[in-house]
């Protein structure tokens, strides 16, 4: 008897728009819109390397919003729209760009069109996402990402006529057909760079997790760990599992 294939949730940002913008601005301050190696961009975003699930999730989220582009294999660049947002001459232009970023993920655009008069309750949104194929725990996490992003963009505060003036989006496939962003291929580097030393601060427990191929991962858990912390950690792990299994060497 073979194991049933793991069910994957549809693709969507794992970071809210405000956090995504904050991170991409760090990259813009370093290299403006010039193409840079993926590992360098990951460091600008606040990660030690791109060879981690959290860094790859963040990069994918920024690409879903249209904040990062992939001009060539192994390189990323901050989009010109980010520069336009940074130097927007007035608040209305900024808000138009924010609404454009918010609607760039096909799932978010569909939800905003479905609930055009305002978002329903979290329970209603979670049910809608589960019906679309999201795992329950992932749906709960995504509800927070979507609601926070919508509030940050002040989407429903804008008068209905003004939404027609949003910046045009490039033609995209429907959510059901949305292609997966091509995997980022990193230049060949010394594998020792991917190893990190986790210092023991005496206030956390390090739990080893054995991976395939003789690899190991470590969970660093604070000694004071509440039930709510467990749920948040599980939701984040579930969200990471929605991505395709990464190759041992990208």
pLDDT of 243 higher than 70: no
For residue range 35-62, list pLDDT tens digits in order. 999 999 999 999 999 999 999 999 999 9
Rounded-to-10 torsion of CA 143, 147, 152, 157 = 160
User: What is the structure's pLDDT at 10?
Assistant: 73
Span 135-149, average pLDDT? 96
Beta-strand relationship, 68-69 and 75-78: antiparallel
List of residues 6+ apart from 105 with CB closer than 8 A: 12, 13, 64, 65
User: What is the structure's pLDDT at 121?
Assistant: 97
For residue range 174-233, list pLDDT tens digits in order. 444 444 555 555 444 444 343 344 444 555 666 676 666 666 676 777 756 666 666 666
For residue range 122-141, list pLDDT tens digits in order. 999 999 999 999 999 999 99
Span 60-71, average pLDDT? 97
Sequential DSSP letters for 160-226: HHHHTTSPPPPP---GGGPPPPPPP-PPP--GGGG-------SSEEEEEEE-GGG-EEEEEEESS--
- Residue 230 vs residue 108, higher pLDDT: 108
Bridge partners, 220 (sequence order) = 206
How many other β-carbons are positioned within 10 Å of the β-carbon of residue 88? 15
Q: Which structure tokens are listed for 76?
A: 């990323």
pLDDT of 173 higher than 60: no
User: What is the structure's pLDDT at 146?
Assistant: 98
Closest CA to 95 of 144, 150, 29: 150
Are the CB atoms for 43 and 49 separated by under 8 Å?
yes
For residue range 6-32, list pLDDT tens digits in order. 555 678 999 999 999 999 999 999 999
pTM above the 0.95 mark? Answer: no
pLDDT of 2 higher than 60: no
């Amino acid at each position: 008897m073979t194991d049933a294939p793991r069910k994957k949730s549809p693709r969507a940002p794992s970071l809210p728009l405000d956090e995504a913008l904050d991170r991409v601005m760090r990259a813009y301050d370093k290299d403006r819109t010039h193409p840079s190696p993926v590992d360098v961009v990951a460091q600008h975003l606040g990660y030690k390397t791109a060879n981690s699930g959290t860094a790859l999730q963040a990069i994918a989220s920024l690409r879903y919003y249209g904040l990062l582009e992939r001009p060539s294999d192994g390189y990323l660049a901050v989009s010109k729209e980010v520069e336009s947002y940074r130097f927007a001459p007035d608040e209305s232009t900024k808000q138009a760009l924010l609404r454009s970023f918010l609607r760039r993920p096909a799932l978010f655009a569909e939800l905003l069109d479905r609930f055009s008069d305002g978002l329903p309750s979290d329970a209603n949104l979670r049910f809608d996402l589960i019906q679309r194929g999201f795992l329950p725990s992932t749906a709960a996490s995504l509800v927070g990402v979507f609601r926070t992003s919508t509030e940050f963009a002040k989407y429903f505060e804008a008068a209905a006529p003004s939404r027609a003036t949003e910046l045009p989006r490039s033609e995209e496939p429907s959510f059901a057909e949305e292609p997966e962003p091509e995997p980022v291929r990193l230049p060949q580097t010394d594998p020792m760079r991917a190893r990190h030393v986790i210092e023991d601060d005496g206030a956390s427990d390090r739990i080893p997790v054995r991976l395939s191929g003789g690899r190991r991962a470590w969970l660093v858990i604070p000694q004071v760990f509440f039930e709510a912390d467990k749920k948040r950690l599980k939701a984040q792990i579930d969200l990471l599992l929605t991505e395709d299994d990464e190759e041992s060497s990208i």
